[in-house]
């Protein structure tokens, strides 16, 4: 797609320790490993999602270590369960996003009424509270797969619970190790990177956003020289396009929302849709809505 679009440069950001491409065909794939195609120009070692506990656990798996901006700590929990009968008592109702290692486990939990995703399917996403459930006590390589365990334990922002019939696998050992950490130790993995709040004028002008980011981060780096990280430099010097939905004004977003709701309720078809859109977009809004 990049070649067809004739873009002069492609910026790829990812984690080489996470689950790689898995070839499920009978054919040989030559270019499946991105690090064999592109060179690593910058190493970003600051996470804006991972908790302090998770960061402390995983830091040694990265050549430059890990830091996080998260304030959350001591949030990992390990529960032993030989079967799924009491699962609802542990999980409660709709609090957790449920993950599993294998498709067979996904089918088991789905049959019990739990909306479930495999770790691989959930890679790249996040949720406030994560419950990882292992249903088999049989030793299998996937339960000790570093990429799978790493992805699983880095999806949450608030809490993580691992429900398993055995405590001999990798994730169980990590959580048991995490119980030995104290707040003073976890502070070594915390970094305070300022949140840049843009004005409405800056939000509509990416160039002004970049200037504000650079000024804020430069001032912060001067005040905290030890925190002048590659991540801060990357954020300050990189120019990102404004996403399509962010180019819309708040009024446009409100009108589109009204249009969608009206269409769904009236179940109108194309001719009336055009009339409805014209009415909605030409209607003078009250001042309190505009603001």
Please check whether residue 262 lies inside any domain of the structure: yes
Question: What residues make up the domain containing 233?
Answer: 200-246
Angle at 275 between CA 271 and CA 276, to 5 degrees: 110
pLDDT in the model for residue 226: 45
For residues 182 and 141, state if they share a domain: yes
| 187-216 pLDDT per residue, tens | 999 998 765 555 555 555 555 555 555 566
* 245 phi and psi angles, rounded to 5 deg: -70, -20
| DSSP reduced 3-state for 170 | helix
Task: Kindly tell me if the per-residue pLDDT of 178 is higher than 70.
Answer: yes
* 234 phi and psi angles, rounded to 5 deg: -60, -45
Please check whether residue 177 lies inside any domain of the structure: yes
Residue 165's Cβ-count burial label (10 Å; 0-12, 13-18, 19+) is middle
Q: Average pLDDT in the 109-129 region?
A: 95
End-to-end CA distance of the chain: 40
pLDDT in the model for residue 82: 82
For residues 96 and 166, state if they share a domain: yes
Q: Kindly report each contact of residues 115-119 with a partner whose C-beta sits within 8 Å and lies 24 or more positions away, as own/partner.
A: 119/19, 119/148, 119/151, 119/152
Number of independent structural domains in the chain: 3
Please check whether residue 83 lies inside any domain of the structure: yes
- Give me the residue label for tokens 């789905």: 110
pLDDT in the model for residue 227: 47
| DSSP reduced 3-state for 133 | strand
Please check whether residue 53 lies inside any domain of the structure: no
For residues 181 and 286, state if they share a domain: no
Q: Average pLDDT in the 78-93 region?
A: 85
Choose one of 213, 228, 246: the last residue of a domain: 246
Please check whether residue 18 lies inside any domain of the structure: no
| 224-271 pLDDT per residue, tens | 554 455 555 555 555 444 444 445 566 777 777 777 777 776 654 555
Q: Which residues are CB-neighbours of 160 under 8 A, at least 6 positions away?
A: 54, 75, 76, 77, 129, 130, 131, 132, 153
- Beta-bridge partners for 80: 164
Please check whether residue 211 lies inside any domain of the structure: yes
Please check whether residue 37 lies inside any domain of the structure: no
């Amino acid at each position: 797609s990049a070649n067809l679009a004739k873009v002069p440069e492609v910026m790829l950001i990812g984690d080489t320790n996470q689950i790689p491409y898995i070839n499920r065909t009978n054919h040989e794939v030559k270019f499946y490993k991105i690090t064999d195609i592109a060179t690593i120009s910058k190493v970003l070692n600051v996470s804006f999602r991972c908790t302090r506990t998770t960061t402390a656990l995983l830091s040694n798996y990265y050549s430059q270590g890990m830091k996080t901006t998260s304030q959350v700590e001591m949030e990992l929990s390990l529960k032993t369960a030989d079967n799924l009968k009491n699962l609802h008592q542990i999980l409660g109702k709709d609090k957790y996003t449920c993950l599993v290692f294998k498709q067979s486990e996904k089918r088991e939990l789905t049959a019990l009424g739990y909306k479930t995703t495999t770790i691989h399917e959930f890679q790249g996403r996040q949720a406030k509270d994560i419950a990882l459930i292992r249903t088999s006590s049989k030793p299998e390589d996937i339960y000790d797969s570093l990429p799978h365990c790493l992805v699983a334990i880095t999806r949450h922002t608030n809490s993580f619970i691992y429900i398993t019939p055995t405590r001999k696998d990798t994730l169980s050992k990590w959580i048991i190790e995490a119980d030995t950490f104290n707040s003073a130790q976890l502070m070594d993995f915390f970094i305070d990177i300022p949140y840049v709040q843009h004005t409405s004028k800056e939000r509509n002008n990416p160039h002004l956003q970049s200037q504000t980011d650079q000024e804020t981060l430069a001032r912060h780096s001067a005040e905290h020289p030890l925190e002048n990280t590659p991540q801060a430099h990357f954020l300050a010097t990189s120019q990102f396009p404004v996403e399509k939905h962010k180019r819309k004004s708040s009024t446009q977003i409100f009108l589109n929302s009204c249009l969608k709701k009206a269409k769904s309720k009236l179940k109108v078809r194309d001719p009336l849709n055009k009339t409805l859109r014209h009415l909605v977009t030409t209607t003078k809004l009250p001042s309190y809505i505009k603001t």
